Each structure stands twice: as C-alpha cells, then as structure tokens.
Amino acid sequence: MTQLDALKQFTTVVADTGDFNQLAQFKPQDATTNPSLILKAVQKADYAPLMTDTVTRFKGRALDETMDRLLVRFGCEILSLIPGRVSTEVDARLSFDMAATVARGERLIALYHAEGIHMDRVLIKVAATWEGIQAAQALEQRGIRTNLTLLFSFCQAVACGQARVQLISPFVGRIYDWYKKSAGSNWNEAAHAEANDPGVKSVRDIYQYYKHFGIATEVMGASFRNIGQITALAGCDLLTISPDLLAQLAASDAPLARALDAGAGLDLPAAHFDEAGFRFALNEDAMATEKLAEGIRAFAVDAVKLEQLMLAV
C-alpha cells in the first residue's frame, strides 16, 4: 500500500491545483483552486484555449463577470474528474467587503447552476477576515457552503466555527515559513519537524478544539511544504495537497498511521469572539496578521495578472 492509499483510510484527500489533467492519476475526492493556481494553469498550452474560448464567448461583459465564468469553467472541468466538491475562490480584492463577497459568492453558485452543477458540489472560498467570515455565515444561511482560506490563527478558527461555515483551510506551510524566517540562523529543522512543526501544531490544536466542543466545521490542512507535515496530520478531516506532494506520497510505501485523535481533546475553555475581540486577538498574533495580509495581497496581484491576460485575448 502506498502512503497515499494509507492516508485515504484516515483522511479525505483533496487535490490543490488548477491543472485538472493531473487529477486522474491521484483519484482525489475533492479539489481546490485559487487565483494563483488558475493563473499558472492558463499560461500552459493545454489550458490557454479554455481561457480564450471563455473570454471570446463573453466579450463585452464586465471583466469581473468574465473572470468568474473562467473560474467556473475550470471548476466544471475539475468536477467532471472527481466525485466530490470543488472550491472556487471569491476575488481577494473583496476580502474586506462583506456585501460584495456575498454577492460574488451567489453569482458563482448561479453560474455553476447554469452549467448543471448542484450547489452541494461547490464550496465558495473566502479569506478568513472578519468581513469574510460574516459573509460566509450569510452564504451558509442561504444554503451555499463555504471554505474559509488564508487561516493562520486560533481566533480565525473559533470565529469560523461560530459562523458555522462548512470548512476551514489552515495554512500549514505558510505558518512554518514565518517561524523559520523569524528564527533565522537559530532555526533547528530537526527540532521543528513533523509533529513539532508550528504549522502542524496549529492545525492539530484547531482540530482537537473543534472535536472537543462538537463543532461541525470540517478542518482541511493546506499549504504543505513537505511530506512530513502531511503524515503528521493523517486523520485530519481533509488535507489539500499539491500534485508534486501527491506524487511523492504515491511513490512511497513507508508505513503511515493515524496521527490525529478526535478524542484527544485539549485542556482549553470554550472561546468566543465578537468583532472587537477577534480583531484584537488577530492583532496580537504577528504571524497570522502578517501572513493573512501577505496572502490577500498575493492573490490580489494574481487576480490583476489574470485580468490582464484576459484583456489581451
């Protein structure tokens, strides 16, 4: 049995890619995309015609609508290859606008519906800002399921649980990156590997908190840098993994056992955050504050680049 097969016994495996031609070999249940992955895909010869066709068909429409149609086109192609759900992301430039995020999420679902895709197969991906979390709550109340991304802190996870969102995506690798950079020459890779990785510990704490307090929101570890981070989270509800790391798991037959225990429970009191408390708690976490802002900026830059490619068609 490969490590990938073993992992699938404990965890729902999700492919993190816009390159849907890679999906068949790994047989993931679900798939996730983001603006950076779509941008990378449309610059490949295999996918450029898909963008050209979409832009040409909807020439004259507002650019933001055409971009959403392109995202949905990729999502539909992905859904034809997997049995589960696809995550499609709301424009990161709307991360601090609750009403606009709700409207964009509703439009994405409407576009999927027009293509014959039931809303249960789509997760609307939203940045885990305060406004994003409130938008997700509003979407959930309309029956639209959400995936809260760019999640780096415990307070973000608690607020998402309060909002009863469907799923959260805590970013393991980016947390690891921040602590490694912060430590500089004092970083000890061996001492911070696998279960001691700061990103892994963050996800483990969130997972155990949710299970302890019966929070139904699914936990999906994301943004992995190495196989050790993945195997240390075997047993998490879901893990979204890049094709390169999926290939490494598929090529290894090293033993893999469940690492997370839903019954382990942390010795933590129940937490609750209103807006002021959330903003203060996030502000107190330098890593989460910096990585959230950095992530939004990077996705916004790639959204602009994607628009420029579309305008050139």
Q: Which amino acid is at 118?
A: H
Q: What are phi and psi of 14, to 5 degrees?
A: -120, 135
User: What is the separation of C-alpha 9 from the centre of its chain, rounded to a whole number of angstroms?
Assistant: 21
Neighbouring residues of 38: CB distance < 8 A, sequence distance ≥ 6: 18, 70, 71, 74, 306
User: What is the separation of C-alpha 41 from the centre of its chain, rounded to a whole number of angstroms?
Assistant: 17
- Catalogue the long-range contacts made by 6-10 (C-beta closer than 8 Å, 24 or more residues apart): 6/234, 6/255, 6/256, 7/230, 7/231, 7/234, 7/239, 7/249, 7/256, 10/234, 10/235, 10/258
Neighbouring residues of 47: CB distance < 8 A, sequence distance ≥ 6: 18, 19, 41
- Whether the CB-CB separation of 191 and 242 falls below 8 Å is answered with no
Tell me the catalytic residues: 125
CA separation for the pair 167, 288 (Å, rounded): 19
Neighbouring residues of 291: CB distance < 8 A, sequence distance ≥ 6: 150, 152, 171, 174, 175, 178
- Whether the CB-CB separation of 206 and 156 falls below 8 Å is answered with no
Q: DSSP readout, 229-272?
A: HHHTTTTSSEEEE-HHHHHHHHH----------TT---S-----
| CA nearest to 198, candidates 214, 212, 182 | 182
